[in-house]
Amino acid sequence: MMMTPYDDTLAVAGSGTTQTDSDWWRGAVIYHIYPRSYRDTTGDGIGDLPGVVEKLDYVASLGVDALWLSPFFTSPMKDFGYDVSDYCDVDPMFGTLADFDRLVEGAHARGLKVLIDLVLSHTSDQHPWFTESRQDRTNPKADWYVWADPKPDGTPPTNWPSIFGGSAWEWNSKRRQYYMHNFLASQPDLNFHCEAVRCELLDTARFWLDRGVDGFRLDTVNMYTHDRVLRDNPPLAPHMVINGIPPENPYGMQEPLYNINRPENLRFVERLREVLDDYGATTSVGEIGAVTDMYQSIADYTTLGRLHMAYSFDFMTPEFSATHVRRVVERMATRAGEGWPSWAFSNHDVPRVLSRWGLDAYPEAAPLLVAIASSLRGSACLYQGEELGLPEAEVPFEKLQDPYGIRFWPEFKGRDGCRTPMPWDASEAVGFTSGEPWLPAPEAHRARSVAEQEGDPSAPLNRVRRFLAWRKSVPALLLGEIAFQEAHEPALVFTRSTSDQCVLCAMNLSQQPIRVDLPGLGRLRAIEAGGFEGGGRVDGGGIELGAWGAVFAAVEES
């Protein structure tokens, strides 16, 4: 391999690339904040927007490029903000629109972009639109939601299930019809076959873009549109699996052909992209769930002027190996074509990655996982607490808040275990609140709090900071092509290459030191990568890797 030698004295301002402002999201690291659990400034035990503002210096210190806020809109909180009753206001428990404006201004002053979570597929049943729609069949918003007559025997119109259990249809005695809900019965689905609904939702996007947001994470973006003629879904074929659905949930027993994943959905996404493009340097990240072919779906949603990015759930399963990482990334490259992936190992909906991958006892593995996610071709999402190496919290049944977990407990414990308060210090309430936290703060998190790690250069927090800061100076890690090298478990080895730079990334996915031989690759020169000082060394035609170590090397002319 013949490449121009890498200059490890290079220091490039900003993202470290020549990309234009409109492409800032390519290769970016996005920090996902669940506001309810980040920082409470009022003592009510629930995090708020002023709490996020208070911690913006911390977010900036991580070396990330953007932050993504889970919903903070007005809501009855049956699903903790994913049941919206006013798209254009802040729920009082989180603060005010003025607080949001301060957050955007403060983030931008620190060089951080701001993405917010738009929940367009459904509203709360307390939204004024639904209050009007359910009154009768002739009011101005009668067709704003998905209403259907019962079958002659009174049963629901279709066999469609709800992800949160039971039928996707709820009876309304006033209209003497069923309405559709993909999630809770208190989350009725909007009717995307109605032009007035589509226009209203596009105006919602404009409202927040006008307030300065830099883009959106689009919740359940493939679930907006339903089948007009209400056909039943067929049983799932034996060889198929529904992506992102736990095996305890019967939702995974149908092939979701008609309740979600409709081709008409893509036309609305194209219109939303046109709105985003009107505002310049914006981006969109799509959550595509409950599909049988994740890669084809990502290709469909990230090409032809649709979404900028979409993320896969393939790294949010218990499977953990170098082979799995390579298989997922190569499938994405082959199947999704030019679509730009967004990689995430954790978020607010799945157990924390250290626990899910059996690494609770190895917080030192956390920087390696961050390095993997942010070294693959694509953009990376880092969920709050990943930088600390937090394990999943064990929340007792009597303290559970998540309706999903309550419904399927104890086989499936829901999402509360990854939503416990961000640990800022080792106090009982972990510096999150002066009151009682809405979810209990586990003892195991106190020892891994921000305050406990700040003064230790070898702690996961400071290693992640050094790595992400160093990464910005390496253009190949941001925008380069990826090619995997042959290596045995537990070694993960690949190159990232631009026209004038090739960087080898070698990672040890285990607690035992290993050696990786790379004959024929060319001459390797180790690059001092922040956060992985002493993580290994280049030795002739191979690399020695320490426990959970990584080596980055320039590939030079032989």
pLDDT at 16: 39
Q: Using an 8 Å Cβ cutoff, are 493 and 507 in contact? A: yes
Residues 115 and 98: their CA atoms lie apart, in Å, by: 17
Residues 122 and 126: their CA atoms lie apart, in Å, by: 11
pLDDT at 59: 98
| CA 11 vs CA 14, 128, 129, 200: distances in Å | 10, 53, 53, 46
- Does residue 18 surpass a pLDDT of 60? no
Percentages (nearest 5) of helix, strand, coil residues in the chain: 30, 20, 55
Share of the chain above pLDDT 90, in %: 87
What secondary structure does DSSP assign to 502-535, as a single string? Answer: EEEEEEE-SSS-EEEE-TTS-EEEEE--TT-TTS
User: What is the rounded average pLDDT of the residues 445-463?
Assistant: 98
**DSSP structure class, residue 440:** P
Residue 23 CB neighbours (<10 A): 17
pLDDT at 336: 83
- Does residue 198 surpass a pLDDT of 60? yes
pLDDT at 520: 79
pLDDT at 339: 84
pLDDT at 14: 35
Rounded to 5 degrees, φ, ψ at 198 are: -60, -45
User: What is the rounded average pLDDT of the residues 292-317?
Assistant: 91
* Amino acid code (one letter) for 416: D
Q: Which residues face 21 on adjacent strands? A: none
Residues 426 and 435: their CA atoms lie apart, in Å, by: 15
- Does residue 284 surpass a pLDDT of 80? yes
**DSSP structure class, residue 308:** S
User: What is the rounded average pLDDT of the residues 365-382?
Assistant: 98
Residues 24 and 379: their CA atoms lie apart, in Å, by: 10
- Does residue 19 surpass a pLDDT of 70? no
User: What is the rounded average pLDDT of the residues 421-447?
Assistant: 97
| CA 186 vs CA 91, 154, 180, 191: distances in Å | 17, 21, 10, 16
Q: Using an 8 Å Cβ cutoff, are 442 and 432 in contact? A: no
Helix pair angle (195-210, 264-278), 10° resolution: 30
- Does residue 95 surpass a pLDDT of 50? yes
Strand runs labelled E in 426-500: 481-484, 491-498
**Annotated domain spans of the chain:** 21-123+195-469, 481-556
Range 21-123+195-469: architecture per CATH: Alpha-Beta Barrel (3.20)
Range 481-556: architecture per CATH: Sandwich (2.60)
Rounded to 5 degrees, φ, ψ at 250 are: -65, -10
Q: Which residues face 216 on adjacent strands? A: 116, 284
User: What is the rounded average pLDDT of the residues 233-242?
Assistant: 93
> Which residues neighbour 246 within 8 Å (Cβ) at sequence distance 6 or greater?
252, 408, 412
User: What is the rounded average pLDDT of the residues 219-232?
Assistant: 97
What secondary structure does DSSP assign to 236-298, as a single string? Answer: PPTT---TT--TT-GGGGB--SSSS--THHHHHHHHHHHHHHHTSS-EEEEE--S-S-HHHHH
Stated as kind and residue range, the H or E segment containing 195 is: helix 195-210
What tokens does 196 get? 């007035």
Q: Using an 8 Å Cβ cutoff, are 207 and 88 in contact? A: yes
Rounded to 5 degrees, φ, ψ at 43 are: 85, 10
Torsion of CA 189, 195, 200, 205, to 10 degrees: 90
- Does residue 501 surpass a pLDDT of 80? yes
- Does residue 521 surpass a pLDDT of 90? no
- Does residue 155 surpass a pLDDT of 50? yes
| CA 5 vs CA 359, 500, 502, 526, 555: distances in Å | 36, 8, 8, 11, 7
Residue closest to 87 by CA, chosen among 214, 203, 227, 195: 203
pLDDT at 558: 60
Q: Using an 8 Å Cβ cutoff, are 67 and 59 in contact? A: yes
What tokens does 390 get? 């937090």
Residues 396 and 409: their CA atoms lie apart, in Å, by: 10
- Catalytic residue ranges: 219, 287
Residues 444 and 484: their CA atoms lie apart, in Å, by: 36
pLDDT at 9: 34
- Does residue 1 surpass a pLDDT of 50? no
Average predicted confidence (pLDDT) for the chain = 94
| CA 496 vs CA 310, 488, 527: distances in Å | 21, 19, 14
